[in-house]
Structure 1
Amino acid sequence: MNKIDELIKHVKDADAIVVGAGSGMSRATGLAFWYENSPLYMDNIKYFAKKYGFNGLFQGFYNRFESEEEHWAFLLELYKMMNEIPPQKPTYEYLKNLIGDKPVHYVTTNQDMLFTKYFPENEVSEIQGSWHYFQSSRPMSDRKLYPTKGDAAIVHCFTQDGQYYKVRLGLDKNKDEVHGFYVDSGTFTAIEDSNDAGVGFSQISIEIPNNGDGAILVPKKDKLLQMFPEQKDIIERFCV
């Protein structure tokens, strides 16, 4: 019996399964850009690779960039790669088919969010963290919002100069949802559950602006109605 047949037999015989996976799982999908100058790496990160000469994204974490802006540009390009480049091989589909309907839990050191894209979050432990929660360490500048669990959220934004816009915060790009976004300091927000998936709640990560001493800024209803008369229905729903 070869190793593959032996593995299949053990899976079939098991009552429940714990799967452990690390960086080799991502490489097996064809996403070979973490530790080497693969074509996929060079197609997306060529500017930084040529300028600084580091091999693979991982070395970029230890690179000394010329400016903070350039450092952020590298991190955001990396984040975009993880979000937008799909696995090049059906490795995760193979794993899903192998496990079948068995009770299972996945333990991974990977931070690339792939396990939670293919398997329910309650079946995955990302023991070294996840880029899903990537955000600035300086919340006093712009506010940042990210979805974490549940349905997509609809974020109504009211700016200090009287502008209104709304954003769908979620992971489904087919519905024009965004994984995260920034709002200018001083922008007031109202957030509601889209109820698209029928979960009944939206859980997001948000940093609330304050006036410097920790006090939360809460707008008055009459002031909002004066500034945003066209959004009266929304203001009436959310204000008390």
Structure 2
Amino acid sequence: MIANAHQSEHVSLLSIRDISVQFGGLLALNAVNLDVNAGARYGILGPNGAGKTTLFNAISGFVDPSKGEIKLNSKKLDGLPSHERVLRGLSRTFQITTLFPELSVLENVLMAAQVDAGKHQVFWRAANSHKEVMQRVEAQLVDLNLSRLALSTVSALSYGEQRLLEIAVALASKPSVLLLDEPTAGLSAAEMRSVVDLILKLPQDLTIVLIEHDLDVVFDVSEELSVLHFGNMIAQGPASQIREDPLVREVYLGEA
């Protein structure tokens, strides 16, 4: 496979051009290119230290690239803080849960839902009186099998339930692109299956980019893949081709 090859001649929903990220003398990402089309299920593979989370951090505004360009829906994201990127339609989860443990499931999702409701500047409790927002959040909790836990505090949830809730929170702002950073990390086999089933039934017009170490999860969910190795994109293409790519098998799949 040709590293850093453009995925499509069509205009991509998420477009990354020559992104490099340097931490002191360490080049964490080296001129990475990526094109993700609307509605794609796109996976990012790579061993530990490959630069996967750094790539997500660059896309979502948590780290500043040393060079390159990131566009969402043909509009530049470069220089925008992370909350502005959420308003543009980008949302993400993290390797470690970032929920409010003493608030309820419902309250956590309501806080995120205010972004889409245009009330992000208002204290979160105002969302409780907003009928449309409340109805949408309650319906979302039903869809994600979390309605029975709506009034439970996050601290009372199992780790698997917290991972499902984190996806619900990320979806509450109605993003066009959802970045999932190892959503099954630390889960049991049954919990992993629940997360995969949830991802598979998300709306087809939602674009999903997934980082995941579990190869079964990656190939279950992803239609296209890119493979990072020491900050370099070494392969890109359909999941079926990536599975058989000799270089990928040497540097990654052989380690599984």
TM-score (norm 1): 0.26
Larger Rg: 1
Greater length-normalized contact order (CA 8 Å, ≥ 6 residues apart): 2
